Amino acid sequence: MRLSRRRNRHNKRGFPQPIRLIRVSSVAIYCFWVYYLFIAFLSTLARSTAAEVNFRVDTVYGLLTEGQSRGQIVHFAANQWNVDARQVDNYIKRARIRLEEDAAMTRPSWIAEALGRLRTYEQSAYKRGQTQVAINSIQLQAKLIGLEI
């Protein structure tokens, strides 16, 4: 009595028999290929670094301040950075938050910054001998603080 029966792997003529393939449904094959292509696609995607994202948001900020429309910004970003419209909308959202923060400056702080800039202009004009520019700067400073000369 034999304990294990060995299959004959050759046909009557001595040639190896073909390997029988397992029948797999077409849905299973389709799911396999979709999964395979999805993994291959994900491996090609590269995430942007924080520095790249900040640079892109700064660039979009500049485009918004220049008056560019959403469509123009999306077109620019698609050509420059190879990103889709959804990602550009995220960049626009972050850039608009920065715009709101910049616009939230109060009147006294804006006047203080303007006075500082005018003083700088006055000093540099005086050093270069441009007395009319220095005088104009002084007059503007006086108008800002409410004094009329």
Q: What is the pLDDT of residue 56?
A: 94
CA distance 91 to 55: 10
Q: Is a pLDDT exceeding 60 seen at residue 3? A: no
DSSP 99: H
Q: What is the pLDDT of residue 72?
A: 95
Closest by Cα among 146, 70, 71, 73 to 111? 146
CA distance 115 to 121: 10
Structure confidence by residue, pLDDT tens digits, 113-142: 888 988 998 999 989 999 898 898 888 888
- Owner of token pair 């007395």: 131
Report residue 24's pLDDT band, with 50, 70 and 90 as the boundaries: low
CA distance 98 to 58: 9
Residue ranges covered by each domain of the chain: 48-103, 107-145
Structure confidence by residue, pLDDT tens digits, 89-112: 999 999 999 988 888 877 788 888
Neighbouring C-beta atoms of residue 94, cutoff 10 Å: 17
CA distance 33 to 27: 10
- Owner of token pair 């303007």: 114
Report residue 25's pLDDT band, with 50, 70 and 90 as the boundaries: low
Structure confidence by residue, pLDDT tens digits, 40-77: 666 566 678 889 999 999 999 999 989 999 999 999 99
